[in-house]
Each structure stands twice: as C-alpha cells, then as structure tokens.
Amino acid sequence: MPRVAMLVALVSTRIRIAMQLKRWDTTMSTDAHSIASQLNNSGLLRTQGLIGGKWRDAYDGKTIKVYNPATGESIADVACMGGRETNDAISSAFDAYRSWSKITASERSKLLRKWFDLLTAHKEELAQLITLEQGKPLKESLGEISYGAAFIEFASEEAKRIYGDIIPAPLSDRRLFVLKQPVGVVGAITPWNFPLAMITRKVGPALACGCTVVIKPSELTPLTALAAAELSIQAGIPAGVVNVVMGNAPDIGDALIASPQVRKITFTGSTAVGKKLMAGSAETVKKVSLELGGNAPCIVFDDADLDVAVKGTLAAKFRNSGQTCVCANRILVQEGIYDKFANALLDAVQSMKVGDGFSEGVSQGPLINEAAVKKVESLIHDATSKGAKVILGGKRHSLGSTFYEPTVITDVDNEMDISRQEAFGPVAPLLRFKTEEDAIRIANDTNAGLGSYVFTNSIPRSWRVAEALEYGLVGVNEGVISTEVAPFGGVKQSGLGREGSKYGMDEYLEIKYVCMGNMNKD
C-alpha cells in the first residue's frame, strides 16, 4: 500500500475510534471507562445499527442513552432508529435471503460454528458488557454467555439434520415427497433480561434453517446485541443475513409486522405486547412464535428434601434478581413443612450479597430501572394490606439506585396481586396448601403457563403433578431447567411455539409437499 494511502487509512481508523469513544459518557466511573476501552480494543463497542452489513446511524441523527442500572450512569449513546431504518433492514434481509437460503446446510453450519467460537473466545468482554448495561452479577453474565453461545453451537449441528420424508404413494406412477424449507425473513424482538441468550435462541435456528433476520433488541440493553452482531460479521456470515435496529420500539415493531417481506415474528416479552404483535401479524398472515409472561408456581410437598427444595427455590426465584420469565412467582408449601421451609429459606436469603455486579461475591444486582422497583413496591403493599407478612426485606436497599432487598413474604393467598401478576423482582411469596389436589388447583389458577417447579421425594407424585400442571416447562427437584437441547415455551397466555432443541428448528421451517406423476413413463 502506498505511504499516502497508509496514512489516510491510519487517520480514518483513529477518527473512527475517537468517535466511538466520544459516545461514552464522560461521567462514567473508572471501571466503566476501563471496560469501554477493552471493548473498543476488541472491536465490540458498537453504537450504530447494522443494516446490510454496514454500521449506520439513525437517519435523523437521533440517539438514546443506555444506562448502568447499578449506578444510574450513562454508558453510551446509541442510534435511535425507527420505521425507515427497519424497512431498509428488511429489504437487506430479503435480498440476502435469496442467496443464504440456497447455500448448503454444511456451509451454514460452518459459519455458525465460527460464530459460536468467537462468542466463546470473547466471553469475558461480553459478560462485562451484560453486567454493565443489564446489572446482573458478573458470574451470572458469564453463565449467560455460555448458555447463549450454546444455542448457536446446537443450531450449527442441527443445520445438517433438517430432513424431509418420502411418503408411500397410493398409485404406482406417483412419488410423494415432503420438503422442509426456510420460512423467509424473520423479525426477532428480544427483551432486556437476557440480552444475548434471547437473541441466539432465536437467531441460531433461524440462520441454520436458511432464514435471514432483523433483530430488534431492547432499547435498555442494545450493546450486547450489537457486539454479538459484530462477531457474526467476523465469523463470515454474509452481509444482510443479520441486521440489528434499535430505538423507537413501536415504530420498529409496526414496520416488522406490516411488511409482507417478513414472514415470521419471534418475540420474547410481555403478554400484552405479544397480543399486539399477534394481532398485527394477522394482516399478512405471518408465522408467529411468542414466549410471553409467566406466573410460575413452585410447589414444595411435605415429603420434599428440605435442603434440595430450598436450594432449588433460591435458584428459581432469585436468579437475575427475580427478573426472568420462569422465576418462581408463587411458592406453594404444604402445611406440614411450611414453617420449617420458611425458616430455612429465610436463613438462605439473608446470606445473599447485594451489590454492583462487578463486586466480588455479589449474588444479586439491581433491578433494571425505577419502574421495576415501583412495581415490586406496589405488589408488596397490596399483599401486606390484605394480611401478608414481610419476614425479610420488603424495601429498597441502602445501596440506593434500583437495588431492592431480597424479600420473603408469608401468609400470601392466591387472590393477592402478587399471586396474579409477575413480580419480576427479588420477592418470594409463600402460600400454604393442604393436599396435592389443592396445590394443583392453585398452581393452575392463572392465565399463564410457562415455567413450574415441584419438590417431592415421591416418584409417583412427581409424575402425577408434572402431568397435571398446565405449563410448558416443569422442573422436578430442580430450579434451573433451561437448556439448548430441550424445548422452551408455554401454554395458555404464555405463548405459542417452542425455542431450543430440535423442536425449535421447526418454528423456522415450512413444509412443502411434492407430488410427481407419470413416473412409470420415459
């Protein structure tokens, strides 16, 4: 390269890096600046959207701030996109679909494997980014990177196992075939509580099947999505196959559901928003997968192993500060073990360390924002006004910001608001029940049907209760049940479809029947 060209390239690179660093708010803490510098050096600090393989600002130049929930500090200004940018991303994905869907499954598998390798190689930086913008403890963030990357690895393997069928024909001169083909362009709308895993769980199988995607991450946590997209480019996934737009959620959502070029919407989030997406998708008859709200019961029977039950309940309830769709929302305890379990849970919760996710030994970080704290406060106020008793916590933490004390409430009943709504916070409400039939009735008395948990040492009871629970997921003597190899999804108003496992692949495929006649003639 000529010397002048080298100097121009060097100056351009320095300008680009300076512009990226300028986006980071000067009021951040030293630790945040250090993390920003590391991410910038690795090329993972992205604040623009990705459309057609190019990083782009919002067309009107608008930006939105991303905050660290542990400190309230501004982390970055990212592009605030809307309908125009989304329509261009859709067009890019539609154009890329023509070639991506035609390459061999083996080639798609190799590219996904490279993406998985890069996600794994950069797990420390990605985990730091999650903790910075979402707040969960660093150990949990590292766990999310492994969990999220596993969906890409699994999809890379399943890409080569999308099989059709040959059907025995009723007539000798005919041959009947079933082909599985990609559905087309996919709009993937993801939440803030798992900013990597909720993307990879959707995008991995979509790409493996031959679909292209337009990702809309939460405006609260877009940086992890953008970093993951950068790694997809480094893996060699072609331009336009993966697109990311963020900012004005209603405008982006409207563009995705209105476009006839988008053939599928996959969404994780609230039931209320899911219903709107489902209704909007009817106009163009899109395929829809919805993973919506939950109201998970955690049933502890008299014959349960107390240590196993407490450990499992802690994991099911307090992971990510209670901010997961499968968190135990109601803890149903049989009367014979109720007091003993309440005391044991109280002891365990008291030992939990609350703090900034980067601090050593922290097991619970902040809630995502002020609105989340106010919701928890409202639910606790309703419960205590109706006779429930707070035996631990029940108020904002002395750390300030959006930290909330891990809380245990007793004497809760199934008619209180905290039993009818997702708390999405570190609150463990204990309900008392008498018989197995009572437990099943109370557990199923909800419009939700996502996650559920059962603790018992009786094998016959575990089968009976698991079959009777109206939920898509049942954990027996286990509080952490999500895995890339098993189907994840709910029933009733908790959603449609499944993610993960071989069953999740089918959500991105169409079945085509081919009848070939005159097979006995030359």
For the chain, 522 residues long, give each residue's pLDDT as a single digit of tens. Answer: 443 333 333 334 333 434 443 444 333 444 666 776 677 777 798 999 999 999 999 999 999 999 999 999 999 999 999 999 999 999 999 999 999 999 999 999 999 999 999 999 999 999 999 999 999 999 999 999 999 999 999 999 999 999 999 999 999 999 999 999 999 999 999 999 999 999 999 999 999 999 999 999 999 999 999 999 999 999 999 999 999 999 999 999 999 999 999 999 999 999 999 999 999 999 999 999 999 999 999 999 999 999 999 999 999 999 999 999 999 999 999 999 999 999 999 999 999 999 999 999 999 999 999 999 999 999 999 999 999 999 999 999 999 999 999 999 999 999 999 999 999 999 999 999 999 999 999 999 999 999 999 999 999 999 999 999 999 999 999 999 999 999 999 999 999 999 999 999 999 999 999 999 988 877
CATH of domain 296-483: 3.40.309.10
Residue 124 tokens, joined: 């420390």
Encoded amino acid at 141, one letter? S
Neighbour tally for 430: CB within 10 Å: 24
Encoded amino acid at 135, one letter? G
Residue 468, C-beta contacts closer than 8 angstroms, at least 6 positions apart: 440, 444
Using CA atoms, how far residue 452 sits from 23, 169, 345, 487, 515, in Å, is 43, 44, 18, 14, 44
* N residues, the chain: 522
- Beta partners for residue 175, in sequence order: 516
Q: How far apart are the first and last CA of the chain?
A: 62
CATH of domain 30-291: 3.40.605.10
- State the Cα–Cα distance between residues 510 and 184, nearest whole angstrom: 9
Is 512 strand, coil or helix? Answer: strand
Q: How far does Cα 361 stand from its chain's mean position?
A: 25
The phi, psi pair for 475, rounded to 5°, reads -105, 125
Residues with a known catalytic role: 291
Residue 185 tokens, joined: 């362009």
Q: Is 425 left (phi over 0), alpha (psi -120 to 50) or beta?
A: beta
Residues 86-110: b if buried by 16+ CB within 10 A, e if exposed: bbbbbbbbbbbbeebbeeeeeebbb
Domain ranges of the chain: 30-291, 296-483
Scan for tokens 């699994």, then name that residue.
154
Encoded amino acid at 485, one letter? V
Q: Where are the beta strands (DSSP E) in 393-459?
A: 407-412, 427-433, 453-455
